[in-house]
Each structure stands twice: as C-alpha cells, then as structure tokens.
Amino acid sequence: MTSTATGWRLGIRHVTEVAYTGSARSSFNEVRMAPLTLPTQTALESRVEISPPAHAWTYWDYWGTQVVAVDIPEPHERLRLTARATVETSPAPPLPAAPSWEVLRDTAARGPESEYSAATELTRVDEAVAAEARRLAGGLGPHEAAAAIAAWVHGQVAYVPGSTGVGTGAQQAYDQREGVCQDIAQLTVAMLRSAGLPARYVSGYFHPVPEAEPGETVAGQSHAWVEYRAGAWVALDPTNMVEVGVRHVVVGRGRDYADVPPFKGVYQGPPGEPPRVVVELTRLA
C-alpha cells in the first residue's frame, strides 16, 4: 500500500477551455479525469467544476474509469472544465515472475486478457511492424521483450507536439516517425500485442520533476503510457523511458485512447477552437 515514507502525495489541477466562434448549445460531454484507487495508488479526492454551471452525473464505465457526464442545454460561448484531484502514489512494484510465452499466448487467447490482445482501429499495424515486434522479442523473456519494444519505439518515434491528432493511429505515427505520448503508447501497445503480450493503454498524469520539492507547482500534462500482462500487469513509459512510479497517476485503462479519452463531447453550434488545456501538478508530500 501507499506509504508517505516512499510515496508521493500529488495535487492535480486540469483545466480544459473551449471557446466557440459563436454560440454552442445542447452540449453533452464526458470527462474521464479522476484518478483510480489501486494497490499502487489511492485517490483521496476528485471533483469537476463546470462553467457555465451545469448538471454533472457520475458513473463508472466498462473499463472501471470514473466518468463525469455533463450536459449544458443553454447557449454558451465558452466551456470551462476544471478537474481537481489529490492522490497518493507509490514506487513501482517489483517485476512479477513471468510465465512462459506459451502460457502467455494461451491466456492472451482465452483469458480476460484477450480483451487486450486484439488490434483495434487505433492500434492496427502492418505486417512489417508486427514482424519487427516479434524480431525484437526473439529469444528474450517477456519482461525483457517488453522493455526492448518500448525502447525501440522510443528510438523510432520522435516526441513532436502537434504532429498528430486524437484520431491518429499507431501505424500512421510509425510511418511519420513523429507523435506525442498517445501515439507512442499506442504503437507500443500494438507491438506488445504483436509479440504475444496482452497490452493496454493507460491514461493519466505525469509529474515531470524527479526530485520535486513539496509545495512547488509545475506545469504538467495529460499523459499516456502502457501496461502489459506477464504474471501481473506491468507498466512502461515509452515516451519518457522512466520507471512508472511515484510520478505517474493512473486515471483509466483501455484498449486504446478511444476507450479512455479525458474529454469528449458533442454540441450544436459552430465549430470550436481546439481546446486549451492546462495541467498543473503539485507535490504535496
């Protein structure tokens, strides 16, 4: 369990602002920004403020993610969502003993993990990429193979903000060798699956400063990384190539981005500008 001696306590403030070129109405949205409570993480509180004032309703979806559904019938020129959370994190647990590839392949085909074994629209890659994944994994144990794939993706795809969009798939990110954490995570997920490891996409937050002083607020980002299944779920951050531990906060896990989007919605009205997003992270203890 989380202990204050080795874990962190983090405060998160995530502001999403959409300005419409005219007036929007009948706006229906879902927000997935609340940290989960897990063996490695405890959510102490989370809430969402909405402007203009709106009806908010919470449910937990198929993936176990907390969803805040927001609807705003009245005309409005801008929408501002502020999600706040306090969460305790802990260092990475030791690697579990990995089963043999044979056992892994069987559970990937038949067990609950099979959900995370098949390609989805955003994680579909061509045979060349799949073959590369198998080549990288060749002769290695599951953990070593996963690490090799993550490192390879990290080396291939440059982190270039703005180079892709929310609908960009793993193959396209690979073809253009550029992307953001979402693309790097989806390509890694795709290749882990190609190599025979069930793999899932993780949405959350990442504190960028390793030895942050308590009380100091830094600019952060909505982040994405991966988990693969080998004995237990093991997390990897192929964008940053750092251990997933006290600085990572898990919000949701799914097959790809589309299962766990932090914010999605539909409305009637003229097109809006791309949302402006600010994430602030504060190590509290």
Q: Which residues bind another protein (CB under 8 A)?
A: 26, 28-30, 55, 57, 59-63, 69, 71, 73, 109-112, 114-115, 118, 259, 264-266
Q: DSSP character for 259? A: G
Nearer to another protein, 69 or 284 (CB): 69
Nearer to another protein, 16 or 240 (CB): 16
Q: Least distance to another protein from the beta carbon of 274, Å?
A: 16
Which contacts of 43-47 are long-range, i.e. CB under 8 A and separated by 24 or more positions? Answer: 43/85, 43/86, 43/87, 44/9, 44/85, 44/86, 44/87, 44/88, 45/84, 45/85, 45/86, 46/83, 46/84, 46/85, 46/86, 46/87, 47/83, 47/84, 47/85
Question: Of 30, 81, 18, 87, nearest to 263 (Cα)?
Answer: 30
Main-chain dihedrals φ then ψ at residue 75, nearest 5 degrees: -65, 140
Q: Least distance to another protein from the beta carbon of 266, Å?
A: 5
Paired strand residues for 204: 223, 250
Nearer to another protein, 63 or 159 (CB): 63
Q: Least distance to another protein from the beta carbon of 118, Å?
A: 6
Nearer to another protein, 74 or 273 (CB): 74
Stated length of the chain:
285
Q: Least distance to another protein from the beta carbon of 204, Å?
A: 20
Cβ neighbours, 10 Å, residue 27:
23
Q: Least distance to another protein from the beta carbon of 232, Å?
A: 19
Nearer to another protein, 91 or 269 (CB): 269
